[in-house]
A = this chain, B = another copy of it.
């Protein structure tokens, strides 16, 4: 569990918990156990996604994945234990019990969304009536978006946010969640183009829906700009307290790895 959680990563989701909390109140430290909880869920999802029966990845962040480092059985159990530990951490957030219980609800929603997105992504085109663009957004709103949404909402609830603030942070989260995935797709295409001269990345090769595959590279860049502007507009009215959230949106829009 330590190997999976402490092996690096951007810590994007706990940062979102912290800054959403700091945008809503003056004592953001209260959210720390919840920030850890979100990172445990993220770590659990990576450990299970890397398993041979799933994506079968041997390396993550330049290190052997957990099932290579230990065994498949231990990786399954460590992932399960991290998922469970996340809820244990939430119970240690020192806020009103009714609000703390809302954190549990938000985390279960985020985690269920993430898993359903994963399943929807793995299954053959389940409903031909759904357009590719809708399908792509539905997958990403869940697979990547649900946990980012949970991070922002959990931070906001820890900070005792008003309904308006919670709603603004939810819009922000939805936008950066989709943007995160669009940028991922773009990096995949552009880095492969750079290194091999091909215009398609591994996801496109595997027949997966991607933003560049659907909208083209220029269309994807335009969509990223639109989502970035919408995310920033949602939180700017909160003033300087929301500056770190604006910075995160801008950073995520322009990252190249």
Give A residues with C-beta under 8 Å from B: 44, 48, 51, 53-54, 71-74, 76-77, 79-81, 83-85, 87-88, 90-91, 96-98, 100-101, 104-105, 107-109, 111-112, 115-116, 118-119, 122
Contacts and interface: CB of A to CB of B under 8 A. Distances in A.
A83 B85 contact: no
Given A72-B53, A88-B105, A77 B118 contact: yes
A76 B54 contact: yes
Contact of A81 (B76, B79, B112): B112
B77 A80 contact: no
Q: How many copies of the shown chain assemble into the complex?
A: 2
A115 to B, nearest CB: 5
A97 B93 CA distance: 14
Contacts of A72: 53
Contacts of A112: 81, 84-85, 88
Given A79-B80, A81-B112, A88-B112, 19 more contacts: A48-B76, A53-B73, A54-B73, A54-B76, A74-B122, A77-B115, A77-B119, A80-B83, A81-B115, A83-B84, A84-B108, A84-B111, A87-B87, A87-B108, A90-B104, A91-B108, A97-B100, A101-B101, A101-B104
Contacts of A74: 119, 122
4 closest residue pairs by CB, A with B: A53-B72, A88-B108, A97-B98, A97-B97
7 contacts: A48-B77, A53-B76, A76-B76, A80-B115, A90-B104, A91-B105, A97-B97
A135 B108 CA distance: 35
Nearest to A72: B53
A104 B76 contact: no
B122 A73 contact: yes
B53 A71 contact: yes
A142 to B, nearest CB: 12
A122 B236 CA distance: 53
Contacts of A118: 77
Nearest to A88: B108
A159 B105 CA distance: 22
A91 B81 CA distance: 20
B98 A85 contact: no
* Residue in A51, A72, A73 with the greatest tally of chain B CB atoms within 10 Å: A73
Contacts of A88: 105, 108-109, 112
Contacts of A91: 101, 104-105, 108
Nearest to A45: B80
